[in-house]
Amino acid sequence: MAKKWKKKKKSRMQKFTIKDFIKMFPDDDTCLEYIRNKRYPERIECPSCEKKAKFHKVSKRKQYACDYCGYQIAPTAGTVFHKSSTSLTTWFYVIYQMAQTRGGISAKQIERETGVTYKTAWRMCKKVRESLEEDYSLFMGEVEIDESYFGGKNTGGGKGHGLDNKTPVIGIVQRKGKLEARAVKEADGGTILPMVQQNVVHGSTIYTDEYKVYDALPVMGYRHGRVPHAKKIYVRGRIHTNTIEGFWSNCKNGIRGVYHAVSAKYLQNYLNEYSFRYNHRDDYKPMFFTFLNQTIFSSYPRSS
């Protein structure tokens, strides 16, 4: 009897609605308990009395005290929440909103929804974006590399012309894998080729456009496929840069639609947000928890 092969279904991300959020995090103590449980085991070896102790919540403080000697720990220390006068429930809500959409949410919208000042809303979003920067392992297999330009107006009509008022960004993406986008000072050989050498495994296949900088890739030990965009050719079999270009499109549309404009000084923070969301697009757990846990562990060795 012939076997019936079933196509494996792609796992879908769990839903986590605003009702779920309100039910799970009704107050600051609940939010603090979540952070404490993520960062510490149930019993902690007390740095003071050196006993394996449970730590209980200190009333009206964001701290927990050793049951034996009273030594206190602050679960928020070193995180984006530390020493912030803004409530943890507001912080968690901001993270929830940032994780909900592909394009992000503006500080102005956060101001309207939470009642904090615009300055506070902007600062919170900035800190969350900074925490979303990830440590990348090497790229391998089939890799696409492309450069793009953000901000200002293109006055010259072509790559490398009339782009003095724009910020160059280099993107590397492993097909069916991770992506990294890095704002740089110059999109030239002195910047791109060392980045490739440091981040892409030798022998990998790299797909690019016809930018002459990439002529050196075969000499550097990479297989190189080039797609001639100038000839209006965008796909030649497996040779294309559609993956990274799709990311550029989503990123630029999001910035134009939500933030309108981003300065060169803070562009990397926004690239962190869009890259992080892309890299965790296939996670099963809700994107909110992926964002939230990253903010908790960004300054610490991440749990396996």
pLDDT in tens, 107-145: 999 999 999 999 999 999 999 999 999 988 999 999 999
Q: Are 277 and 287 in contact (CB under 8 A)?
A: yes
Q: What is the dihedral of CA 283, 286, 292, 297, to 10 degrees?
A: -30
Taking the C-alpha atoms of residue 162 and residue 156, their distance in angstroms, rounded to an integer, is: 4
DSSP code at position 161: B
Taking the C-alpha atoms of residue 86 and residue 88, their distance in angstroms, rounded to an integer, is: 7
* Annotated domain spans of the chain: 78-131+265-304, 142-264
| Of the candidates 233, 197, 235, the residue with the CA atom closest to the CA atom of residue 217 | 197
pLDDT tens readout for residues 48-69: 999 999 999 999 899 999 999 9
Residue 295 is predicted with a pLDDT of 95
Show the CA angle centred on residue 76, arms to residues 74 and 79, nearest 5°. 140
pLDDT tens readout for residues 202-224: 999 999 999 999 999 999 999 99
Taking the C-alpha atoms of residue 74 and residue 198, their distance in angstroms, rounded to an integer, is: 38
Question: How far is residue 274 from each of residues 134, 144, 164, 264, 268, measured CA to CA in Å?
Answer: 12, 17, 24, 16, 10
Residue 135 is predicted with a pLDDT of 86
Residue 302 is predicted with a pLDDT of 45
Taking the C-alpha atoms of residue 95 and residue 100, their distance in angstroms, rounded to an integer, is: 9
Taking the C-alpha atoms of residue 113 and residue 94, their distance in angstroms, rounded to an integer, is: 9
Residue numbers in the chain where pLDDT is lower than 50: 1-8, 161-162, 300-304
* Two structure tokens written together for 131: 């925490």
Question: What are the φ/ψ torsions at residue 146 (nearest 5 degrees)?
Answer: -155, 155
Taking the C-alpha atoms of residue 37 and residue 26, their distance in angstroms, rounded to an integer, is: 17
Residue 200 is predicted with a pLDDT of 97
Compute the residue count for the chain: 304
CATH superfamily of 142-264: Ribonuclease H-like superfamily/Ribonuclease H (3.30.420.10)
Q: Are 216 and 192 in contact (CB under 8 A)?
A: no
Taking the C-alpha atoms of residue 256 and residue 134, their distance in angstroms, rounded to an integer, is: 24
Taking the C-alpha atoms of residue 228 and residue 190, their distance in angstroms, rounded to an integer, is: 23
Pairing of strands 44-45, 52-53: antiparallel
Residue 304 is predicted with a pLDDT of 37
Residue 119 is predicted with a pLDDT of 97
Q: Are 291 and 132 in contact (CB under 8 A)?
A: yes
pTM score = 0.86
Taking the C-alpha atoms of residue 143 and residue 12, their distance in angstroms, rounded to an integer, is: 25
Secondary structure class of 157 (helix, strand, coil): coil
Q: Are 171 and 146 in contact (CB under 8 A)?
A: yes
How many Cα neighbours within 13 Å face the side chain of 60?
Answer: 0
Secondary structure class of 205 (helix, strand, coil): strand
